[in-house]
Amino acid sequence: MSVEIDTRPIWVILLLKASRPAFYLAVVLIFWGLIAMPTPEGLSIGGQRAIAIFAVCLILWVSNIVPLAITSLFAIVLVPVLGVLPKKETYALFGNEAVFFILGAFILAGAVMHSGISNRVALNIMKRFGGSPRTLVISIFLLSAFLSFFMSEHAVAAMLFPIVLEIAKGLGLKPGKSNYGKLLFFALAWGCVIGGVATFLGGARVPLAVGMLKETTGDSIGFLEYSVAVFPLVVILLAAGYLILTKFFPIDIEGVGSARAVLERRIKGLGKFSINEYATGTVLLFTIIGWIAFGEGLGLATVALSSVVVLFVFRLVKWKDIEEYVNWGIILMYGGAIVLGAALDKSGAASWLVKSSVGDWAGSPWMAFALFSFLSILLTAAMSNAAVIAVLLPVSLGLASKLSMDPVVLTYAIAVPAGLDFMFPMGTPAIAIAASSNYINVKESAKGGFIMFVTAWAVFNLVAAWWWPLLGMGYSR
């Protein structure tokens, strides 16, 4: 049995031990101060309490001192306890369609990964198109993006990571020193990030935003409608990302013969296509068709859960097989975010916050759109993208009526940029997974990621200005 001895000075140990209770005490004092202060003019008591809950959740989400799901549960508890919303209404919000769509999407993705079809497709594409150093990078980059159209981006990164790592080792690339090694893992991470904003399935942030939009205004965004709106953004960012990566990390090897041997060995290990793979792939295909054709009428969650039922009825998957793929913490996080957003809206707190803060900076619809898209892409570098939506969306929707803006467009302004962090591991699981390889580091990620940060924000605003009007979308209603 090994024993580890802490050799740090005793004052350092005591300070670290005391910092957590001191932090909690500071949060409690801030919360009490916001509750006890005189109610500002134009704000109701319920709105004041909603802002106090919002402030505490913001601090906990940014600090990440407790799990995100626990912070959301804290919000769910405080909203009825403080009388911001009745308890029946509060807990009913957790049954929002977006929560069940996210649950269904997790189970579907888990079934696809468990069947092995996604792994088989990935290996065969890399073998088919990875004949040279340049085409291998392109195949990993585009494959990461394409798979993230249909699966959570961090699930795609986790699935492809061991394959890319084995390729890097097979090529004899030295961690931290090989340009090509860095290129491979950045291609994996950036491909996942860009592809993750293409559809509702790349991450649960868009369904969360749509759920909050529907709960607040009654408006919604369709599965196909969303993808068509962001398609030019995805294409341009893929081109820009590849150019930036190859500029920063020029290819420094001549051949990838040993990498092809790795891929062939893995493909042989998979054996022949199984009936389960064919059947699971068919269910996924019909699910996507269902979302496109019937999502607006039946609801995205209804289609997703119907497909989940089919998977279990035909015994294509067992519950124990997909349990590990269902992130219950994310489900709780999003349920709490929807409750908090509804509390801010229905208490009048969101409108008051807009008038007293952001409203002074957003004097026109274009300025409001640019401001919120910038804040969204900036904040997601430091906190969960779901938390960014929970923080910004209620405030932006409160601004919509003041500026006669379309709340749907403001929802895009926050939901899409919230998924475009290329800089830091704490904001993007795909980058965190790639960084764990030791082939890339945070400094390199921040350097190239900052250029993509600026590029992504500029391209997103240009797409909104030039592409969306062709689809009948505008800043104003």
pLDDT in tens, 111-167: 888 888 888 888 888 888 777 889 889 999 999 999 899 887 877 887 788 888 888
For the stretch 263-269, contacts whose Cβ atoms lie closer than 8 Å and that sit 24 or more positions apart, written own/partner, are 263/123, 263/126, 263/127, 263/130, 263/163, 263/167, 264/127, 266/123, 266/163, 266/166, 267/120, 267/123, 267/124, 267/127
Q: What is the dihedral of CA 234, 239, 244, 245, to 10 degrees?
A: 90
Average pLDDT, the chain: 84
State the Cα–Cα distance between residues 335 and 331, nearest whole angstrom.
6
Nearest to 159, CA basis, from 151, 168, 167, 170: 151
Contact yes or no for 245/188 (Cβ under 8 A): no
Q: What is the mean pLDDT of residues 458-467?
A: 95
Write out pLDDT tens, residues 236-287.
999 999 999 999 888 888 777 777 788 888 888 888 888 998 999 899 889 8
Write out pLDDT tens, residues 196-237.
999 988 877 888 888 888 888 888 898 899 999 999 999 999
State the Cα–Cα distance between residues 44 and 41, nearest whole angstrom.
8
State the Cα–Cα distance between residues 474 and 471, nearest whole angstrom.
9
Which range in 172-181, 204-213, 461-470 is most confidently predicted, on average pLDDT? 461-470
pLDDT of residue 386: 75
pLDDT of residue 1: 47
Confidence of residue 394 (pLDDT cuts 50, 70, 90): confident
Higher-pLDDT residue of 394 and 137 is 137
Residue 458 has pLDDT above 90, yes or no: yes
pLDDT of residue 382: 61
Nearest to 376, CA basis, from 357, 395, 360: 395
Distances (CA, A) of 240 to 40, 244, 424: 47, 6, 19
**Global pTM value:** 0.75
**Lowest mean per-residue pLDDT among 1-15, 68-82, 128-142:** 1-15
Nearest to 407, CA basis, from 209, 200, 228, 199: 209
- CB contact set of 279 (below 8 Å; sequence gap of 6+): 314, 316
Write out pLDDT tens, residues 343-356.
887 888 877 876 67
pLDDT of residue 211: 86
Q: What is the mean pLDDT of residues 358-378?
A: 78
Residue 107: in which H helix or E strand, if any? helix 97-115
Of the chain, the percentage scoring pLDDT greater than 90 comes to 25
Confidence of residue 415 (pLDDT cuts 50, 70, 90): very high
Residue 192: in which H helix or E strand, if any? helix 179-195
Report the amino acid identity of residue 405: M
> DSSP letters of 443-469?
HHHHHHHHHHHHHHHHHHHHHHHHTGG
Q: Is 405 helix (H, G, I), strand (E, B) or coil?
A: strand
Q: Is 366 helix (H, G, I), strand (E, B) or coil?
A: helix
State the Cα–Cα distance between residues 405 and 390, nearest whole angstrom.
20
Residue 12 has pLDDT above 80, yes or no: no
Higher-pLDDT residue of 187 and 69 is 187
- CB contact set of 398 (below 8 Å; sequence gap of 6+): 344, 345, 350, 351, 352, 353, 354
State the Cα–Cα distance between residues 300 and 209, nearest whole angstrom.
14
Q: What is the mean pLDDT of residues 311-331?
A: 83
Higher-pLDDT residue of 467 and 69 is 467
State the Cα–Cα distance between residues 182 and 195, nearest whole angstrom.
20
Which sign does the torsion angle of CA 10, 11, 12, 14 carry?
Answer: positive
State the Cα–Cα distance between residues 90 and 86, nearest whole angstrom.
6
Contact yes or no for 109/226 (Cβ under 8 A): no
